[in-house]
Amino acid sequence: MDEQTRAVVEFNRQHNVNAGYTISFMGVSSRSRGAISLAAKPHLSQEDVDKIWAEKGDEIQLINNVAHLKIMSLPHLTNSGERLTNRQREALEWVSDGKTTQDIATLMGLTQATVEKHLRLARKVLGVETTAQAVIRAAFQNQIFLSK
């Protein structure tokens, strides 16, 4: 057993985690992974947990897959801990549709300078240099194209 594995086993022992399962989830992107570890009650052995899994494993896995999909669809915070404002989000969505700042200004009922301000602040919040990068990052972080 390597040092990292020993550290995990010791951590689990200190917290009375003696048995359980880990479920990994299919990634929607090569840049993301997902897993959940399910710990059994301290008095249960792995054999006890295996019996529960044999009976209820499909249901447990289904519930965890649904929870994972829901969590993955939630908006992520940016590195700065900020979220886009509604106006920043709307402006980026219009950019993703190929609209120019003048088009966006007309569609949003704003001046072109105000649209440029919203896009500049969106780039700052998302920590990117270009508006194209902002659209990609916002989409990846589920900050645009949100269901209403």
**Res 133: pLDDT:** 96
Query: Is pLDDT above 90 for 7?
Result: yes
Contacts of 28 (CB under 8 A, 6+ apart): 72
In contact, 91 and 108? CB cutoff 8 Å: yes
What's this model's pTM, rounded to 2 decimal places?
A: 0.62
Q: Could you tell me the domains of the chain?
A: 3-73 (no CATH), 86-140 (1.10.10.10)
CA angle 92, 76, 100 (to 5 degrees): 5
Task: Identify the residue whose tokens are 């915070």.
Answer: 77
pLDDT digits (tens, 9 = 90+) for 8-25: 889 988 998 999 999 998
Q: How many CB atoms lie within 10 A of CB 103?
A: 15
Tell me, what DSSP letter sits at residue 41?
P
What's the CA gap between 57 and 81, in Å, rounded?
37
**Res 78: pLDDT:** 65
